[in-house]
Amino acid sequence: MKRIIILITFVFLLTGCAVKYNIVINEDLTIIEEAKMTGTNAFFDNYYKTTRKNVLKSFIEIYQEILDDNHYTYELKEEEYPYVLATKQYDNFDSFAKSSILFNGYFDEVKYTENGDIKRIETVGFNENDPDNPDRFNVSDLEISIKCPYKVTNHSANKVDSSTNTYYYELNEDHNKIMLEYDSSVKFNPNKSIIPTIIFCVVSIIAVWLIVVPLDKNSKKKETKKK
């Protein structure tokens, strides 16, 4: 039944659709799941007789029951480029990995393991585009981010925002795996990364001062002797 729900939920994610999927790990280890779903210009061009907003409204109407049954909060954001925002909160990462119909729809398997304070999430079998396979859905643009308030010890992200400790995964056939491991006993310190820079600047200033001041004194002594 769960597999059927996943497939139905993602029927609307045809080629030309774009999804930005955000996972936020809170300090109390609860999880916030957020999916921003919209379409590319080419996708919306297929519905030239109606507005982008109305296209997305129809998707909400079709899948409203499924989202309600799985306790998602969702709304249509009517901005210049409209999108559907679906969100849900979980008690912990294990609950998220097992019960998120949105996240699990992208992968054949989502693994979550704990070894004391070390937590690890890893995915298997990315559902890349395959129109001939009924067990796959197609999406032209998929980016998944994980924001973590703790020290990340290992990851497979394409890029990292070190100021917010956010890890970005741009999934395709070449980069098709999500892996993030963190230590829940060590909080992320956004200022820690700039400490070496501060130390370097201070040392540089002191070094310059130690060089310039003696030179200046020697220069004044030479001028005094000449007089």
The pLDDT, as a whole number, for residue 135 is 41
* Residues 97, 205 within the same domain: no
The pLDDT, as a whole number, for residue 51 is 79
Query: Strand order in 141-147's β-sheet?
Result: 73-77, 83-90, 31-39, 17-25, 141-147, 166-170, 159-161
Residue 198 structural domain? 192-226
Alpha-carbon torsion (116, 117, 120, 121), positive or negative:
positive
Q: Which of 81, 75, 137, 131 is nearest to 106 (CA)?
A: 137
Tell me if the pTM is above 0.75. Answer: no
* Residues 31, 116 within the same domain: yes
Question: Do 167 and 152 contact (CB within 8 A), yes or no?
Answer: yes
Angle between helices 2-9 and 52-69 (to 10 degrees): 170
> How many whole angstroms separate alpha carbon 160 and alpha carbon 17?
24
Mean of the pLDDT values across residues 191-204? 54
pLDDT tens digits for 63-117?
788 888 889 998 888 877 788 888 999 999 999 998 888 788 778 888 999 999 9
Number of domains in the chain: 2
* Residues 115, 46 within the same domain: yes
Beta strand 141-147 with 17-25 is parallel
> How many whole angstroms separate alpha carbon 112 and alpha carbon 164?
23
Instruction: Name the residue type at position 15.
Output: T
pLDDT tens digits for 119-135?
999 998 876 555 554 44
